[in-house]
Amino acid sequence: MTNPNRRFFLKGAVASAVAVFAAAAGWISPRRAAAAEWPRDAYAAKTVEEALKNLYGSSAAVASPEVKIRAPLQAENGAVVPVSVSTNLPDVQSISVLVEKNAAPLAAHLNLTPSAVPYFSANIKLGATSDVHFIVKSGGKLYRAKQLVKVTVGGCGG
């Protein structure tokens, strides 16, 4: 004998208990960095603009000297190009690195909590000579800087 009302009641009770627990544990906090799934669509995007729209909902980024970048002017080997970005802009939520001429420009994206310093460094691949774009989201706005890196031997093919 099953009582449909009883079953319904139990399901509802479990669901609300889970929600309350999740909220208490901080799982629903909007600033939790890992809450997001790996951004599949942004990594599949074929242009810098499309990738930014996927990541941020907008590609409107202001060029800013406050986005301080380090990248080589020339890279002999496109397979290993060290780049880094830092900024004094306040309330930085994320940092993205995009290689304009790569088949899929988005290379890396870092979500930060207030405990982290707005800094990111990585070795990335460049298929050919390309502008490398660095995007910083600060106080809900996007700021950008870019640098051309000349590549002698590309790093994305065979």
Partner 1 sequence: MAMKMRTKTANGETEIMVLIDHPMETGQRVDPKTKEKIPPHFIQKLTFSVNGKEVAVADLGVAVSRDPLIKIKVKNAKPGDKVKVAWSDNKGETGEKEIAVS
Please answer whether residues 131 and 98 qualify as being in contact, where contact means their C-beta atoms are separated by less than 8 angstroms.
no
Restricting to residues 137-156, which ones interact with partner 1 according to CB under 8 A? 155-156
Can residue 81 be called a binding residue for partner 1 (CB under 8 A)?
yes
The answer to the question of residue 30 lying near partner 1 (CB under 8 A) is no
CB 20, min distance to partner 1, A? 22
Q: Which two tokens stand for residue 53?
A: 């729209």
Q: Are 125 and 91 within 8 A, CB to CB?
A: no
Residue 89 found at the interface with partner 1 (CB under 8 A):
no
Identify the burial level of 5 via C-beta atoms within 10 angstroms of its C-beta, where 0-12 means exposed, 13-18 middle and 19 or more buried: exposed
Report the site for partner 1 in 94-113 (rule: CB under 8 A). 99, 102-104, 106-113
Nearest to 40 by CA among 86, 136, 106, 129: 106
Smallest gap from residue 154 Cβ to partner 1 (A): 11
Q: Does 22 bind partner 1 (CB under 8 A)?
A: no
Q: How wide is the angle at C-alpha 77 spanned by C-alphas 74 and 81, nearest 5°? A: 70
Site size toward partner 1, by CB under 8 A: 39
Residue corresponding to tokens 């603009």: 49
d(CA 97, CA 5): 53
Q: Which stretch binds partner 1 (CB under 8 A): 1-9, 34-42, 134-142, 143-151?
A: 34-42
Contact set with partner 1 (CB under 8 A): 32-34, 36, 38-39, 43, 79-82, 84, 99, 102-104, 106-113, 115-117, 119-126, 155-158
